[in-house]
A and B are shown apart, each in its own frame.
Chain A
Amino acid sequence: METRDLTRPRGPIVIDIENITKDYVMGEETVRALRGVSLKIHRNEYIAIMGPSGSGKSTLMNMLGCLDTPTSGRYEFNGKNVAEMNDDELAAIRNREIGFVFQTFNLLPRSTSLRNVELPLIYAGIDPETREQRAAEVLADVGLGDRIHHKPNELSGGQRQRVAVARALVNRPSIILADEPTGNLDSKTGEEIMALFEDLYQRGNTIILVTHERDIAAHARRTVHLRDGLIESDHAGFIPEIDMATVG
């Protein structure tokens, strides 16, 4: 199982974090969510980040997604130093370089699929015609070509998550960051979404999967385990003997 991607050449480094820490001040106490994490992610990797709750998994995901900045350490995204960016610069990175897929889909309930997928393009300053055309294309790519004028409440859970994936893809980001993408789906629909991710990976996308589900993580080509704010293990493929055991 772990050998299935060894034939692929490694692409250039997209994410390069070195020794980052993140402290949260909660009243009197300081919580050290990350205690020094280093990670390099290359283009067209498919990586799963696993760990029990409280391991710093979510915090690391927020860092990788440029939603938050580290307390200390270095973070370079495509060679740009993210750690010292201000809010608007981070917003621009999120807009162009990162495609988010959330557990709860986070679609705008009153907007059609098309409008939902267009949203990142609006923030990128793309003109309306191009916007609509590209959104429709991407929706067709994820198999929703006939659902572009449907609102989220007219779609099934799996279809909603497909809309969210289309939204993540539409600005051609450097990475797709999926946070428990199947968490709100039944296992069959979940498998469909995972098949979609596999397809995206085969087409050259970089995918970071944050999950605590072993079955889901098993789709990735590299697995990183976090525990107590540190990387416990980082290895290619999904090795049942190791990965099954460490998930708490």
Chain B
Amino acid sequence: MPDLFRKSIWLRLAKIDMKRFLYELGESWKIAVAQMRANMTRSTLTALGVIIGIVAVTLMGTAIGGISIGFDKSMAVLGDDVLYVTQWPWKVVDDWWNYRDRKKIKTEYAEMLNRMIEKTPNSNLIVAVPTSSVFRSIKYGGNQVDNVFVLGTTSDFIVTSTIDCKEGRFFSDMESRGGASVVVIGYDVADALFPSESPINKSVLINGQLFKVVGVNTRQGTFLGLFSWDSMVAMPLGAFNKYFSAKPDSDVRVKVKDKTKLADAKDELTGLMRRVRGLAPEKSDDFSINEQQAFKSTLDPVKNSIAVAGLFITGLSLFVGAIGIMNITFVSVKERTKEIGTRKALGARRRTILLQFLIESTALCLLGGFIGLSFAYVMCLGIGKAFPSFPIQFSVGLVVASMIVSVMTGLISGFAPAWTASRLDPVTALRYE
């Protein structure tokens, strides 16, 4: 019973204290706003530092978000459930001479793999698709596009890819087997060759041969020169081999049944490829099996260092802004020493004074942050308009993050002056003129 009694007293005390804390908080906000209004010029100039800092940091954050999205978008082209059989691994190698003399990957492997996959019960693999590619010019009427990525493949290609047709269709199984002279063209290619008409059923000239356009891909967007479907054309492998026999680069891509079992699929594919190549057990693999993830892990460090370096440099400008806030809060404390003394005489505790000045610096930073964010938003819209290909990313997360950064800046830069104010001796403060 006494315990219960004591508890309820503590609870009541805590309640009173909480209430007082809230009143003090409200009072501090009012003072902060009044101070800002009373010292308009000073507050504006000080906030300017924070505004610039927040604009810089936010824009950098947006750029980093954009870069990240661009990478991911380009990465999506590769597909996260597709394995790539290639001569060279998708990473930087120090022993290039070990790879140079490997046998080339042949398109026929795909058919051999498919036969083996069919015979394997519960195979983790679905289908193998051969791809061969060259760079060629492509013409229609008076228009020409150079260095187009020309891909020869089978109609199964569509299952291994995120490709979509905006108009028309991908070439069919029949066309694929027969090696028909048909092409599916990328968005940018279509845009350059057919600025004002539909490309479907028109014939384009590649390498002196006419190909009928059966489909146009949906726009994917390019980023930092990474690969994009927008600037490629795809045709049946039969036709490709007939007209582009000179040393094409060939790969085999294999669609995986369950992307959570990518490692198993990789092992299985390695086994199959060793059989295709007829490797004795003691020999090491003479091919590489790649996946999107491997590519990503080589790109991620690049992405991360851009992010760290960028945020560090822009963070410096915010730091300068924070020093401005700290300085002005020190000035404010000095100017209002007598007021602090009066408040202490009237019963303000250390915490109250600390809170008051912390809130002043925080309010200033929050205001700066808000204005800075608005500027950044407008600038993002502008950049988005001016460079549509750059993937701008202005997210809610970014807004919340920059507001948190503003508040933190206010708290950190205001702490030293606020602490000084809270520690002032009331007698000295009252006597201060």
The reply to whether A94 and B347 form a contact with Cβ atoms under 8 Å apart is: yes
Let me know if B427 and A62 touch, CB within 8 A.
yes
A119 to B23, CA, bound (A): 11
Within 8 A of A (CB), among B322-355: 338-339, 341-352
In the complex with contacts A91-B344, A92-B347, A67-B16 CB distance below 8 A = no
Assembly CA distance A100 to B24 (angstroms): 20
Chain B minimum-CB-distance residue to A87? B350
Cβ distance B139 to chain A, nearest Cβ, rounded Å = 77
Considering residues A87, A91, A127, which has the most beta carbons from chain B within 10 angstroms of its beta carbon?
Answer: A91
Interface flags for A77-116 (1: CB within 8 Å of B; 0: not) read: 0000000000110011011100010100010101100000
- Tell me if B27 counts as interface (CB < 8 A to partner A): yes
* Structural contact, A91 and B349, CB atoms closer than 8 A: yes
Chain A: minimal CB distance from B116 (Å): 81
User: Would you give the 0/1 interface string for B128-159, flagging 1 where the beta carbon is closer than 8 Å to chain A?
Assistant: 00000000000000000000000000000000
Q: CB distance A123 to B24 under 8 Å?
A: yes
Q: Which residue of A lies closest to B353 (CB)?
A: A91
B residues within 8 A CB of A111? 34
Known: A67-B427, A110-B38. A94 touches B20 (CB 8 A): no
Q: Which residues of B contact A126 (CB under 8 A)?
A: 23
Interface residues of A in 35-69 (CB under 8 A from B): 62, 65, 67-68
For this complex, into which size category does the number of interface residues on chain B fall? 20 to 34
Q: Is B272 an interface residue (CB 8 A)?
A: no
Report Cα–Cα, A245/B142, bound state, in Å: 117
Given contacts A67-B427, A122-B27, A125-B23, contact A167 B346 (CB under 8 A): yes
Contact A123 to B426, CB < 8 A, known contacts A106-B338, A110-B38 = no
Residues of chain B within 8 A (CB-CB) of A1 are: none
Judge whether B34 and A110 touch: CB under 8 Å: yes
Question: How far in angstroms is the closest Cβ of chain B from A129?
Answer: 12
B405 at interface (Cβ–Cβ under 8 A)?
A: no
Find out whether the CB atom of A100 lies under 8 angstroms from the CB atom of B348. Answer: no
Is there an interface contact between B27 and A68, defined as CB atoms closer than 8 Å? no
Closest A-chain residue to B18, C-beta based?
A125
Q: Decide: A95 and B347 in contact? CB cutoff 8 A.
A: yes
> Given the known A-B contacts A108-B339, A122-B23, A122-B24, are A88 and B350 also in contact in the complex, defined by CB atoms under 8 Å?
yes
B430 interface contact, C-beta 8 A: yes
State how many angstroms separate the Cβ of B150 from the closest Cβ of chain A. Answer: 76
- A120 at interface (Cβ–Cβ under 8 A)? yes
B341's nearest neighbour on chain A, judged by CB, is A106
Q: Which residues of B contact A95 (CB under 8 A)?
A: 346-347
A124 sits at the interface (CB 8 A):
yes
* Cα separation A113 to B351 with both chains bound (whole Å): 25
Chain A residues with CB below 8 A from B350, complex form? 87-88, 91
Contact B19 A127 (CB under 8 A): yes
- The 8 A CB mask of A118-144 against B (1 = contact, 0 = none) is 011011111110000000000000000
Whether the Cβ atoms of B346 and A120 lie closer than 8 Å is yes
Is A88 within 8 A of B349, CB to CB?
yes
A94, B345: Cβ atoms closer than 8 Å? yes
A62-B427, A88-B350, A102-B430 known; A67+B345 contact, CB < 8 A: yes
Those of B10-51 within 8 Å (CB) of chain A:
16-17, 19-20, 23-24, 27, 34, 38
Least Cβ–Cβ distance between A166 and chain B, in angstroms: 12
Docked Cα-Cα span, A233 to B413, in Å, equals 53
A67 touches B352 (CB 8 A): no
What are 18 A-B pairs with beta-carbon distances under 8 A? A91-B347, A92-B347, A94-B347, A95-B346, A95-B347, A96-B347, A102-B342, A108-B339, A108-B342, A119-B343, A119-B346, A122-B23, A122-B27, A123-B347, A123-B352, A125-B17, A125-B23, A128-B23
**6 cross-chain pairs, A with B, having the tightest CB-CB distances, nearest first:** A95-B347, A125-B20, A123-B347, A106-B342, A91-B349, A67-B426
What is the interface of chain A, defined by CB distance below 8 A to chain B?
Answer: 62, 65, 67-68, 87-88, 91-92, 94-96, 100, 102, 106, 108, 110-111, 119-120, 122-128, 167, 171
